[in-house]
Structure 1
Amino acid sequence: MQGAAEAEPRQAGTGQGQHPAGQAAAGGLCPYWRTPEESPGGFPAGHTHLLRRIQAMRARTSGTGSRHRLGSSEMAQKSSLAVPYAVPVLLVCFLACVATGVELSVNNHAADFTLSTSSGTPISLSCLVQNSSKAEELLWYRGDGQVDLKDGNKVNISNICISPATETDNGVTFTCKLRRDQSVKVSVILDVQFPPNVTEDETVKAEEDKDVTLTCNAKSNPQGQATWYKNDTILTLQQNRYQVYQTSEVFQLSITKVVKSDNGTYTCEVKSSLGTGRKNFHLIVEGNKAAAKQ
Protein backbone atom coordinates (compact mmCIF):
# COMPACT_ATOMS: atom_id res chain seq x y z
CA MET A 1 0.00 0.00 0.00
CA GLN A 2 1.45 3.30 -1.10
CA GLY A 3 2.39 5.61 1.73
CA ALA A 4 1.14 3.22 4.38
CA ALA A 5 2.81 1.11 7.05
CA GLU A 6 1.35 -1.24 9.59
CA ALA A 7 1.12 -0.36 13.25
CA GLU A 8 2.34 -2.77 15.90
CA PRO A 9 -0.36 -5.40 16.57
CA ARG A 10 -2.09 -5.29 19.90
CA GLN A 11 -3.06 -8.31 21.97
CA ALA A 12 -6.02 -10.00 20.32
CA GLY A 13 -9.15 -10.07 22.44
CA THR A 14 -12.09 -12.43 22.49
CA GLY A 15 -14.67 -9.89 21.37
CA GLN A 16 -17.11 -7.75 23.27
CA GLY A 17 -20.77 -8.12 24.16
CA GLN A 18 -20.73 -11.88 23.65
CA HIS A 19 -24.00 -13.77 23.67
CA PRO A 20 -23.98 -17.10 25.58
CA ALA A 21 -24.19 -18.88 22.22
CA GLY A 22 -21.53 -16.72 20.64
CA GLN A 23 -19.02 -19.53 20.33
CA ALA A 24 -21.48 -21.94 18.77
CA ALA A 25 -22.78 -19.33 16.33
CA ALA A 26 -19.26 -18.39 15.32
CA GLY A 27 -18.55 -22.04 14.51
CA GLY A 28 -21.63 -22.33 12.32
CA LEU A 29 -23.65 -24.21 15.00
CA CYS A 30 -26.84 -23.09 16.65
CA PRO A 31 -28.17 -24.42 20.01
CA TYR A 32 -31.74 -25.66 19.75
CA TRP A 33 -33.18 -23.90 22.78
CA ARG A 34 -36.77 -24.79 23.50
CA THR A 35 -37.36 -23.18 26.89
CA PRO A 36 -35.46 -20.68 29.01
CA GLU A 37 -34.59 -23.51 31.42
CA GLU A 38 -32.72 -25.40 28.67
CA SER A 39 -30.86 -22.28 27.57
CA PRO A 40 -27.59 -21.33 29.32
CA GLY A 41 -28.65 -17.70 29.35
CA GLY A 42 -32.43 -17.71 28.89
CA PHE A 43 -34.36 -17.01 25.69
CA PRO A 44 -32.98 -14.18 23.55
CA ALA A 45 -34.52 -10.85 24.49
CA GLY A 46 -37.69 -10.05 22.54
CA HIS A 47 -38.33 -13.68 21.48
CA THR A 48 -40.68 -14.69 24.32
CA HIS A 49 -43.65 -14.58 21.92
CA LEU A 50 -42.07 -17.54 20.07
CA LEU A 51 -41.86 -19.46 23.32
CA ARG A 52 -45.57 -18.85 23.92
CA ARG A 53 -46.36 -20.13 20.41
CA ILE A 54 -44.35 -23.30 21.04
CA GLN A 55 -46.11 -23.92 24.35
CA ALA A 56 -49.53 -23.31 22.76
CA MET A 57 -48.82 -25.81 19.98
CA ARG A 58 -47.72 -28.38 22.53
CA ALA A 59 -50.94 -27.86 24.45
CA ARG A 60 -53.10 -28.24 21.33
CA THR A 61 -51.43 -31.50 20.34
CA SER A 62 -51.04 -33.03 23.79
CA GLY A 63 -54.45 -34.72 23.71
CA THR A 64 -55.89 -32.68 26.60
CA GLY A 65 -58.20 -30.52 24.45
CA SER A 66 -61.90 -30.12 25.30
CA ARG A 67 -63.25 -31.73 22.09
CA HIS A 68 -62.08 -35.31 22.72
CA ARG A 69 -59.44 -37.36 24.47
CA LEU A 70 -57.30 -39.87 22.62
CA GLY A 71 -56.83 -43.41 23.75
CA SER A 72 -53.42 -44.60 24.85
CA SER A 73 -52.73 -46.34 21.49
CA GLU A 74 -53.85 -43.29 19.51
CA MET A 75 -51.77 -41.02 21.74
CA ALA A 76 -48.67 -43.13 21.10
CA GLN A 77 -49.32 -43.20 17.35
CA LYS A 78 -49.88 -39.43 17.13
CA SER A 79 -46.86 -38.58 19.24
CA SER A 80 -44.68 -40.83 17.09
CA LEU A 81 -45.75 -39.03 13.88
CA ALA A 82 -45.97 -35.39 14.92
CA VAL A 83 -43.16 -32.90 15.55
CA PRO A 84 -45.32 -30.00 16.73
CA TYR A 85 -42.61 -27.45 17.40
CA ALA A 86 -40.11 -28.22 14.63
CA VAL A 87 -40.79 -25.09 12.57
CA PRO A 88 -40.85 -22.65 15.53
CA VAL A 89 -37.65 -24.18 16.90
CA LEU A 90 -35.91 -23.68 13.56
CA LEU A 91 -37.14 -20.09 13.54
CA VAL A 92 -35.80 -19.56 17.06
CA CYS A 93 -32.50 -21.08 15.95
CA PHE A 94 -32.29 -18.72 12.98
CA LEU A 95 -33.02 -15.64 15.11
CA ALA A 96 -30.55 -16.74 17.77
CA CYS A 97 -27.84 -17.16 15.15
CA VAL A 98 -28.55 -13.72 13.72
CA ALA A 99 -28.53 -12.19 17.20
CA THR A 100 -25.17 -13.73 17.99
CA GLY A 101 -23.56 -13.32 14.51
CA VAL A 102 -19.98 -12.15 14.23
CA GLU A 103 -19.61 -8.42 13.61
CA LEU A 104 -16.70 -6.07 12.99
CA SER A 105 -15.96 -2.56 14.16
CA VAL A 106 -13.34 -0.11 12.94
CA ASN A 107 -12.31 2.62 15.38
CA ASN A 108 -15.49 1.79 17.37
CA HIS A 109 -17.74 2.16 14.27
CA ALA A 110 -19.87 -0.89 13.46
CA ALA A 111 -21.11 0.66 10.17
CA ASP A 112 -19.40 2.38 7.24
CA PHE A 113 -18.20 5.91 8.03
CA THR A 114 -16.11 8.84 6.79
CA LEU A 115 -12.93 9.85 8.60
CA SER A 116 -11.80 13.47 8.20
CA THR A 117 -8.18 14.47 8.71
CA SER A 118 -5.58 16.95 7.48
CA SER A 119 -2.88 16.23 4.92
CA GLY A 120 0.38 15.26 6.62
CA THR A 121 -1.35 13.68 9.61
CA PRO A 122 -0.92 9.94 10.32
CA ILE A 123 -4.10 7.85 10.44
CA SER A 124 -4.51 4.69 12.51
CA LEU A 125 -7.32 2.24 11.73
CA SER A 126 -8.10 -0.61 14.14
CA CYS A 127 -10.46 -3.44 13.15
CA LEU A 128 -11.94 -5.57 15.96
CA VAL A 129 -13.99 -8.78 15.87
CA GLN A 130 -17.20 -8.65 17.94
CA ASN A 131 -19.37 -11.50 19.27
CA SER A 132 -16.87 -14.30 18.78
CA SER A 133 -14.71 -16.27 21.20
CA LYS A 134 -12.79 -18.11 18.47
CA ALA A 135 -9.86 -16.97 16.34
CA GLU A 136 -11.16 -15.00 13.34
CA GLU A 137 -8.80 -13.93 10.56
CA LEU A 138 -9.18 -10.42 9.16
CA LEU A 139 -8.36 -8.84 5.79
CA TRP A 140 -7.73 -5.18 4.88
CA TYR A 141 -8.30 -3.61 1.45
CA ARG A 142 -7.29 -0.23 0.04
CA GLY A 143 -9.84 0.26 -2.71
CA ASP A 144 -9.78 -3.06 -4.59
CA GLY A 145 -6.23 -3.96 -3.58
CA GLN A 146 -5.51 -6.18 -0.59
CA VAL A 147 -3.17 -4.83 2.07
CA ASP A 148 -0.25 -7.08 3.04
CA LEU A 149 -0.58 -7.74 6.78
CA LYS A 150 2.16 -9.14 8.97
CA ASP A 151 1.69 -12.29 11.03
CA GLY A 152 0.32 -11.41 14.45
CA ASN A 153 -1.74 -8.57 12.97
CA LYS A 154 -4.50 -10.65 11.38
CA VAL A 155 -6.46 -12.45 14.10
CA ASN A 156 -9.39 -10.86 16.00
CA ILE A 157 -7.78 -7.43 15.86
CA SER A 158 -5.83 -5.81 13.04
CA ASN A 159 -4.28 -2.35 12.80
CA ILE A 160 -3.04 -0.38 9.81
CA CYS A 161 -1.48 3.06 9.68
CA ILE A 162 -1.45 5.56 6.80
CA SER A 163 1.56 7.72 7.62
CA PRO A 164 1.24 10.38 6.60
CA ALA A 165 -2.09 10.84 4.85
CA THR A 166 -1.69 12.85 1.64
CA GLU A 167 -4.02 14.40 -0.91
CA THR A 168 -3.74 11.20 -2.98
CA ASP A 169 -5.51 9.37 -0.11
CA ASN A 170 -8.51 11.70 -0.28
CA GLY A 171 -11.65 9.75 -1.21
CA VAL A 172 -9.90 6.37 -0.86
CA THR A 173 -11.88 3.59 0.85
CA PHE A 174 -10.25 1.23 3.36
CA THR A 175 -12.26 -1.90 4.17
CA CYS A 176 -11.81 -4.51 6.91
CA LYS A 177 -13.35 -7.92 6.11
CA LEU A 178 -13.82 -11.25 7.86
CA ARG A 179 -11.86 -13.80 5.82
CA ARG A 180 -14.34 -16.67 6.19
CA ASP A 181 -17.32 -14.47 5.28
CA GLN A 182 -16.28 -11.37 3.38
CA SER A 183 -19.83 -9.99 3.43
CA VAL A 184 -19.03 -9.11 7.06
CA LYS A 185 -17.11 -5.86 6.64
CA VAL A 186 -16.78 -2.22 7.63
CA SER A 187 -15.50 0.49 5.26
CA VAL A 188 -13.84 3.83 5.98
CA ILE A 189 -13.77 6.65 3.42
CA LEU A 190 -10.88 9.06 3.98
CA ASP A 191 -11.67 12.77 3.79
CA VAL A 192 -8.16 14.27 3.62
CA GLN A 193 -8.28 18.05 3.68
CA PHE A 194 -5.54 20.17 2.08
CA PRO A 195 -5.05 23.73 0.77
CA PRO A 196 -5.13 24.61 -2.96
CA ASN A 197 -2.21 23.12 -4.86
CA VAL A 198 -1.62 24.87 -8.20
CA THR A 199 0.80 24.15 -11.05
CA GLU A 200 3.78 26.30 -12.05
CA ASP A 201 3.64 29.67 -13.82
CA GLU A 202 3.37 29.76 -17.62
CA THR A 203 4.28 32.05 -20.49
CA VAL A 204 1.61 32.12 -23.19
CA LYS A 205 2.16 33.59 -26.67
CA ALA A 206 -0.76 34.37 -28.96
CA GLU A 207 -1.39 36.17 -32.23
CA GLU A 208 -3.71 39.13 -32.49
CA ASP A 209 -7.36 38.33 -33.23
CA LYS A 210 -6.91 34.78 -31.92
CA ASP A 211 -8.79 33.35 -28.92
CA VAL A 212 -6.74 32.43 -25.85
CA THR A 213 -7.63 30.14 -22.94
CA LEU A 214 -5.65 30.18 -19.69
CA THR A 215 -6.09 26.98 -17.68
CA CYS A 216 -5.35 26.81 -13.96
CA ASN A 217 -5.37 23.32 -12.39
CA ALA A 218 -5.81 23.56 -8.64
CA LYS A 219 -6.76 20.68 -6.36
CA SER A 220 -8.04 21.41 -2.87
CA ASN A 221 -10.29 19.98 -0.18
CA PRO A 222 -12.54 21.71 0.66
CA GLN A 223 -13.02 23.06 -2.84
CA GLY A 224 -11.57 26.51 -3.48
CA GLN A 225 -12.97 29.51 -5.33
CA ALA A 226 -11.01 31.33 -8.03
CA THR A 227 -10.46 35.04 -8.64
CA TRP A 228 -8.69 36.33 -11.76
CA TYR A 229 -6.30 39.30 -11.75
CA LYS A 230 -4.53 41.26 -14.49
CA ASN A 231 -1.30 42.93 -13.36
CA ASP A 232 -2.33 42.44 -9.70
CA THR A 233 -5.71 44.13 -10.19
CA ILE A 234 -8.99 42.21 -10.11
CA LEU A 235 -9.98 41.57 -13.70
CA THR A 236 -13.21 43.21 -14.83
CA LEU A 237 -15.00 40.60 -16.91
CA GLN A 238 -16.15 42.49 -19.98
CA GLN A 239 -19.06 40.88 -21.77
CA ASN A 240 -18.13 39.18 -25.06
CA ARG A 241 -14.42 39.55 -24.18
CA TYR A 242 -13.87 37.27 -21.18
CA GLN A 243 -15.45 33.98 -20.20
CA VAL A 244 -14.80 32.08 -16.98
CA TYR A 245 -15.28 28.33 -16.57
CA GLN A 246 -14.55 26.17 -13.54
CA THR A 247 -14.94 22.67 -12.11
CA SER A 248 -13.79 21.33 -8.76
CA GLU A 249 -10.16 21.24 -9.98
CA VAL A 250 -9.99 23.29 -13.19
CA PHE A 251 -10.36 27.07 -13.54
CA GLN A 252 -10.23 28.67 -16.98
CA LEU A 253 -10.22 32.20 -18.38
CA SER A 254 -10.93 32.64 -22.10
CA ILE A 255 -10.16 35.88 -23.95
CA THR A 256 -11.84 36.44 -27.30
CA LYS A 257 -9.73 37.90 -30.15
CA VAL A 258 -6.79 39.21 -28.17
CA VAL A 259 -5.18 42.54 -28.98
CA LYS A 260 -1.89 44.12 -27.97
CA SER A 261 -3.53 45.81 -24.98
CA ASP A 262 -4.22 42.33 -23.55
CA ASN A 263 -0.49 41.90 -22.89
CA GLY A 264 0.28 41.42 -19.20
CA THR A 265 0.37 39.01 -16.28
CA TYR A 266 -2.87 37.20 -15.49
CA THR A 267 -3.12 35.54 -12.09
CA CYS A 268 -5.42 32.73 -11.04
CA GLU A 269 -5.88 32.90 -7.26
CA VAL A 270 -7.64 29.92 -5.69
CA LYS A 271 -8.66 30.36 -2.08
CA SER A 272 -10.19 27.94 0.43
CA SER A 273 -10.60 27.90 4.20
CA LEU A 274 -7.19 26.17 4.45
CA GLY A 275 -5.10 28.51 2.32
CA THR A 276 -4.47 30.18 -1.03
CA GLY A 277 -2.74 29.10 -4.24
CA ARG A 278 -1.65 31.41 -7.07
CA LYS A 279 -0.58 30.80 -10.65
CA ASN A 280 0.67 33.48 -13.07
CA PHE A 281 0.22 33.49 -16.84
CA HIS A 282 2.50 35.90 -18.73
CA LEU A 283 0.51 36.68 -21.89
CA ILE A 284 2.45 38.02 -24.88
CA VAL A 285 0.30 39.14 -27.83
CA GLU A 286 2.19 39.15 -31.12
CA GLY A 287 1.26 40.64 -34.45
CA ASN A 288 -0.99 38.65 -36.75
CA LYS A 289 1.38 36.87 -39.14
CA ALA A 290 -1.28 36.34 -41.80
CA ALA A 291 -2.13 40.05 -41.85
CA ALA A 292 1.55 40.98 -42.01
CA LYS A 293 2.06 38.89 -45.17
CA GLN A 294 -0.69 40.79 -46.94
Structure 2
Amino acid sequence: MKNVLKSNHFLKILMIAIVMLASEVYGQKIKPSESGYAPVNGIKVYYEVYGEGQPVVLLHGAFMTIDTNWGQLIPELSKNRKVIAVELQGHGHTPFSERKLSHTALAGDVAGVMDYLKIDKADVVGYSFGGAIAYQFAIQSPRKLNKLVIISAAYKSAGWIPQVSSAFKSMKPELFMNSPMHTAYDAVAPDKTKWTPFLEQMTATAGQPFDLGDANISKISAPVLIISGDNDGLDKTELAKTYKLLGGGISADLAPMPKSQLAIVPGQSHVSLMMQTDTILGYLNNFLK
Protein backbone atom coordinates (compact mmCIF):
# COMPACT_ATOMS: atom_id res chain seq x y z
CA MET A 1 0.00 0.00 0.00
CA LYS A 2 2.82 2.40 0.92
CA ASN A 3 4.48 1.88 -2.47
CA VAL A 4 1.20 2.53 -4.27
CA LEU A 5 0.70 5.78 -2.36
CA LYS A 6 4.24 6.85 -3.21
CA SER A 7 3.66 6.02 -6.87
CA ASN A 8 0.40 7.98 -6.98
CA HIS A 9 2.13 10.93 -5.32
CA PHE A 10 4.92 10.73 -7.89
CA LEU A 11 2.41 10.73 -10.75
CA LYS A 12 0.49 13.69 -9.36
CA ILE A 13 3.69 15.69 -8.95
CA LEU A 14 4.73 14.69 -12.48
CA MET A 15 1.35 15.78 -13.83
CA ILE A 16 1.63 19.17 -12.11
CA ALA A 17 5.13 19.60 -13.50
CA ILE A 18 3.95 18.80 -17.03
CA VAL A 19 1.19 21.39 -16.66
CA MET A 20 3.86 23.88 -15.56
CA LEU A 21 5.86 23.02 -18.65
CA ALA A 22 2.77 23.57 -20.78
CA SER A 23 2.20 27.00 -19.18
CA GLU A 24 5.81 27.91 -20.00
CA VAL A 25 5.28 27.35 -23.72
CA TYR A 26 1.89 28.97 -24.15
CA GLY A 27 2.48 32.26 -25.92
CA GLN A 28 5.66 30.95 -27.56
CA LYS A 29 3.73 29.30 -30.37
CA ILE A 30 4.57 30.28 -33.94
CA LYS A 31 2.56 29.22 -36.95
CA PRO A 32 3.81 26.22 -38.92
CA SER A 33 4.58 26.67 -42.59
CA GLU A 34 2.77 23.40 -43.18
CA SER A 35 0.60 21.05 -41.15
CA GLY A 36 -1.69 18.13 -41.81
CA TYR A 37 -2.17 14.40 -41.59
CA ALA A 38 0.03 11.73 -43.10
CA PRO A 39 -1.80 8.46 -43.88
CA VAL A 40 0.61 5.83 -42.57
CA ASN A 41 0.23 2.23 -41.42
CA GLY A 42 -3.56 2.38 -41.29
CA ILE A 43 -3.80 5.56 -39.20
CA LYS A 44 -3.52 9.32 -39.77
CA VAL A 45 -0.56 10.97 -38.05
CA TYR A 46 -0.60 14.73 -37.46
CA TYR A 47 2.54 16.74 -38.20
CA GLU A 48 3.68 20.36 -38.28
CA VAL A 49 6.58 21.81 -40.29
CA TYR A 50 8.54 24.93 -39.39
CA GLY A 51 11.48 26.71 -41.00
CA GLU A 52 13.90 25.68 -43.71
CA GLY A 53 17.20 23.83 -43.80
CA GLN A 54 18.41 20.40 -42.70
CA PRO A 55 15.42 18.42 -41.35
CA VAL A 56 15.06 17.52 -37.68
CA VAL A 57 12.16 15.41 -36.40
CA LEU A 58 10.78 15.99 -32.88
CA LEU A 59 9.04 13.22 -30.90
CA HIS A 60 7.14 14.27 -27.75
CA GLY A 61 6.70 12.59 -24.38
CA ALA A 62 3.71 10.53 -23.20
CA PHE A 63 0.36 12.38 -22.93
CA MET A 64 1.97 15.49 -24.44
CA THR A 65 1.52 17.45 -27.64
CA ILE A 66 3.79 19.39 -29.96
CA ASP A 67 3.01 22.61 -28.10
CA THR A 68 3.41 21.34 -24.55
CA ASN A 69 6.68 19.58 -25.28
CA TRP A 70 8.41 21.67 -27.93
CA GLY A 71 6.74 25.09 -27.84
CA GLN A 72 9.83 26.90 -26.55
CA LEU A 73 12.38 25.08 -28.70
CA ILE A 74 10.62 25.20 -32.08
CA PRO A 75 10.90 29.00 -32.59
CA GLU A 76 14.66 28.79 -32.02
CA LEU A 77 15.37 25.51 -33.84
CA SER A 78 13.37 26.59 -36.89
CA LYS A 79 15.57 29.67 -37.43
CA ASN A 80 18.16 27.47 -39.13
CA ARG A 81 16.50 24.08 -39.50
CA LYS A 82 13.46 22.48 -41.07
CA VAL A 83 11.59 21.22 -38.01
CA ILE A 84 9.08 18.39 -38.38
CA ALA A 85 7.10 17.86 -35.18
CA VAL A 86 4.95 14.73 -34.98
CA GLU A 87 2.06 13.82 -32.66
CA LEU A 88 2.10 10.09 -32.01
CA GLN A 89 -0.89 7.76 -32.11
CA GLY A 90 -3.78 9.10 -30.01
CA HIS A 91 -1.88 12.21 -28.90
CA GLY A 92 -2.95 15.76 -29.66
CA HIS A 93 -4.46 16.09 -33.13
CA THR A 94 -3.67 12.49 -34.11
CA PRO A 95 -6.86 10.40 -33.79
CA PHE A 96 -7.18 7.57 -31.32
CA SER A 97 -6.75 4.13 -32.88
CA GLU A 98 -7.52 0.65 -31.60
CA ARG A 99 -4.23 -0.44 -33.12
CA LYS A 100 -1.97 -1.83 -30.41
CA LEU A 101 0.68 0.59 -29.26
CA SER A 102 4.21 -0.66 -29.78
CA HIS A 103 7.61 0.89 -30.24
CA THR A 104 7.87 -0.80 -33.62
CA ALA A 105 4.55 0.56 -34.87
CA LEU A 106 5.14 4.12 -33.64
CA ALA A 107 8.67 4.24 -35.05
CA GLY A 108 7.21 2.97 -38.31
CA ASP A 109 4.73 5.85 -38.24
CA VAL A 110 7.60 8.33 -37.94
CA ALA A 111 9.29 6.78 -40.96
CA GLY A 112 5.96 6.95 -42.78
CA VAL A 113 5.57 10.67 -42.07
CA MET A 114 9.08 11.26 -43.43
CA ASP A 115 8.21 9.34 -46.60
CA TYR A 116 4.97 11.32 -46.94
CA LEU A 117 6.92 14.59 -46.69
CA LYS A 118 9.61 13.25 -49.06
CA ILE A 119 12.35 13.50 -46.45
CA ASP A 120 14.98 10.83 -47.08
CA LYS A 121 17.09 11.43 -43.98
CA ALA A 122 16.81 13.52 -40.81
CA ASP A 123 18.12 14.12 -37.34
CA VAL A 124 15.67 12.76 -34.74
CA VAL A 125 15.12 14.18 -31.25
CA GLY A 126 12.95 12.32 -28.74
CA TYR A 127 11.95 13.17 -25.19
CA SER A 128 10.86 10.58 -22.60
CA PHE A 129 8.35 8.25 -24.30
CA GLY A 130 9.34 9.86 -27.59
CA GLY A 131 12.96 9.08 -26.79
CA ALA A 132 12.19 5.37 -26.56
CA ILE A 133 10.46 5.63 -29.94
CA ALA A 134 13.51 7.46 -31.30
CA TYR A 135 15.74 4.59 -30.16
CA GLN A 136 13.45 2.15 -31.99
CA PHE A 137 13.50 4.37 -35.08
CA ALA A 138 17.31 4.22 -35.08
CA ILE A 139 17.16 0.43 -34.86
CA GLN A 140 14.62 -0.22 -37.62
CA SER A 141 15.21 2.73 -39.99
CA PRO A 142 18.97 3.41 -39.82
CA ARG A 143 19.16 4.70 -43.39
CA LYS A 144 16.69 7.47 -42.56
CA LEU A 145 18.68 8.67 -39.56
CA ASN A 146 21.44 11.25 -39.59
CA LYS A 147 21.97 11.96 -35.86
CA LEU A 148 19.97 10.91 -32.82
CA VAL A 149 19.23 12.93 -29.66
CA ILE A 150 17.67 11.19 -26.65
CA ILE A 151 16.37 13.43 -23.85
CA SER A 152 15.58 11.80 -20.48
CA ALA A 153 14.62 8.43 -21.94
CA ALA A 154 15.58 4.77 -21.70
CA TYR A 155 15.49 1.95 -24.22
CA LYS A 156 14.40 -0.55 -21.56
CA SER A 157 12.35 -0.57 -18.37
CA ALA A 158 15.48 -1.26 -16.30
CA GLY A 159 16.81 2.10 -17.42
CA TRP A 160 14.56 3.81 -14.84
CA ILE A 161 15.07 3.78 -11.08
CA PRO A 162 12.69 1.40 -9.20
CA GLN A 163 10.41 4.20 -7.91
CA VAL A 164 9.69 5.36 -11.44
CA SER A 165 9.13 1.82 -12.72
CA SER A 166 6.66 1.22 -9.87
CA ALA A 167 4.85 4.44 -10.74
CA PHE A 168 4.49 3.34 -14.37
CA LYS A 169 3.06 -0.01 -13.28
CA SER A 170 0.51 1.59 -10.94
CA MET A 171 -0.56 4.29 -13.38
CA LYS A 172 -4.36 4.42 -13.66
CA PRO A 173 -6.60 6.43 -16.03
CA GLU A 174 -8.47 8.06 -13.15
CA LEU A 175 -5.31 9.95 -12.16
CA PHE A 176 -5.69 12.01 -15.32
CA MET A 177 -9.44 12.58 -15.24
CA ASN A 178 -10.52 16.25 -15.12
CA SER A 179 -6.89 17.33 -15.06
CA PRO A 180 -5.34 20.22 -17.03
CA MET A 181 -4.00 17.55 -19.37
CA HIS A 182 -7.59 16.50 -20.00
CA THR A 183 -8.42 20.11 -20.87
CA ALA A 184 -5.46 20.30 -23.24
CA TYR A 185 -6.59 17.06 -24.90
CA ASP A 186 -10.10 18.41 -25.43
CA ALA A 187 -8.68 21.56 -27.02
CA VAL A 188 -7.15 19.74 -30.01
CA ALA A 189 -8.31 16.10 -30.13
CA PRO A 190 -10.45 15.30 -33.19
CA ASP A 191 -12.75 13.15 -31.02
CA LYS A 192 -13.03 14.20 -27.37
CA THR A 193 -14.92 11.00 -26.49
CA LYS A 194 -11.70 9.00 -26.95
CA TRP A 195 -10.00 10.46 -23.86
CA THR A 196 -10.74 7.47 -21.64
CA PRO A 197 -9.82 4.81 -24.23
CA PHE A 198 -6.63 6.76 -24.94
CA LEU A 199 -5.72 6.79 -21.24
CA GLU A 200 -6.48 3.09 -20.91
CA GLN A 201 -4.29 2.32 -23.90
CA MET A 202 -1.40 4.46 -22.70
CA THR A 203 -1.45 3.35 -19.05
CA ALA A 204 -1.62 -0.30 -20.10
CA THR A 205 1.43 0.25 -22.30
CA ALA A 206 3.28 2.09 -19.52
CA GLY A 207 2.78 -0.86 -17.19
CA GLN A 208 4.36 -3.35 -19.57
CA PRO A 209 8.12 -3.92 -19.27
CA PHE A 210 10.09 -3.45 -22.48
CA ASP A 211 13.64 -3.87 -23.69
CA LEU A 212 14.80 -2.88 -27.17
CA GLY A 213 17.97 -4.92 -26.68
CA ASP A 214 21.55 -4.09 -25.77
CA ALA A 215 22.75 -5.64 -29.02
CA ASN A 216 20.44 -3.42 -31.06
CA ILE A 217 21.61 -0.28 -29.28
CA SER A 218 25.26 -1.20 -29.80
CA LYS A 219 24.59 -1.51 -33.54
CA ILE A 220 23.32 2.08 -33.90
CA SER A 221 25.84 3.60 -36.31
CA ALA A 222 24.58 7.17 -36.15
CA PRO A 223 26.08 9.61 -33.63
CA VAL A 224 23.91 9.80 -30.50
CA LEU A 225 23.60 12.60 -27.95
CA ILE A 226 22.05 11.57 -24.63
CA ILE A 227 20.78 14.40 -22.42
CA SER A 228 19.69 13.56 -18.88
CA GLY A 229 18.84 15.50 -15.75
CA ASP A 230 20.92 14.45 -12.75
CA ASN A 231 17.70 13.55 -10.89
CA ASP A 232 15.32 12.79 -13.76
CA GLY A 233 14.51 9.22 -12.68
CA LEU A 234 16.95 7.50 -15.02
CA ASP A 235 19.25 4.94 -13.43
CA LYS A 236 22.64 6.56 -13.99
CA THR A 237 24.46 3.24 -13.76
CA GLU A 238 22.33 1.93 -16.63
CA LEU A 239 22.76 5.24 -18.46
CA ALA A 240 26.54 4.84 -18.28
CA LYS A 241 26.16 1.34 -19.71
CA THR A 242 24.04 2.74 -22.53
CA TYR A 243 26.67 5.32 -23.36
CA LYS A 244 29.33 2.62 -23.38
CA LEU A 245 27.24 0.57 -25.82
CA LEU A 246 27.29 3.63 -28.09
CA GLY A 247 31.08 3.81 -27.94
CA GLY A 248 31.47 6.28 -25.09
CA GLY A 249 32.95 6.02 -21.63
CA ILE A 250 36.57 5.93 -22.77
CA SER A 251 39.64 8.06 -22.16
CA ALA A 252 39.70 10.37 -25.18
CA ASP A 253 43.29 11.32 -24.32
CA LEU A 254 44.32 7.79 -25.17
CA ALA A 255 41.95 7.07 -28.06
CA PRO A 256 39.90 9.02 -30.62
CA MET A 257 36.93 10.97 -29.25
CA PRO A 258 33.73 8.89 -29.68
CA LYS A 259 31.10 10.17 -32.09
CA SER A 260 28.37 9.94 -29.43
CA GLN A 261 28.04 12.26 -26.44
CA LEU A 262 26.54 12.23 -22.94
CA ALA A 263 25.32 15.32 -21.08
CA ILE A 264 24.13 15.26 -17.46
CA VAL A 265 22.42 18.54 -16.58
CA PRO A 266 22.71 19.36 -12.86
CA GLY A 267 19.77 20.20 -10.63
CA GLN A 268 17.11 18.93 -13.03
CA SER A 269 14.17 16.53 -12.83
CA HIS A 270 12.50 14.69 -15.69
CA VAL A 271 10.18 17.59 -16.50
CA SER A 272 12.23 20.61 -15.38
CA LEU A 273 14.96 19.47 -17.80
CA MET A 274 12.68 20.37 -20.72
CA MET A 275 12.22 23.87 -19.27
CA GLN A 276 15.95 24.58 -19.71
CA THR A 277 15.45 25.87 -23.23
CA ASP A 278 18.81 27.62 -23.62
CA THR A 279 20.71 24.63 -22.26
CA ILE A 280 18.91 22.10 -24.46
CA LEU A 281 19.18 24.37 -27.49
CA GLY A 282 22.90 24.81 -26.93
CA TYR A 283 23.46 21.06 -26.82
CA LEU A 284 21.32 20.50 -29.92
CA ASN A 285 22.96 23.22 -32.00
CA ASN A 286 26.46 22.07 -31.09
CA PHE A 287 25.75 18.37 -31.73
CA LEU A 288 23.61 18.70 -34.85
CA LYS A 289 25.65 21.34 -36.66
TM bucket by the smaller chain?
A: under 0.3
Report the TM-score, using the length of structure 1 for normalisation. 0.19
Write 1 or 2 for the structure with the bigger share of strand.
1
Write 1 or 2 for the structure with the bigger share of helix.
2
Report the TM-score, using the length of structure 2 for normalisation. 0.19
Which protein is bigger by CA-based radius of gyration?
Answer: 1
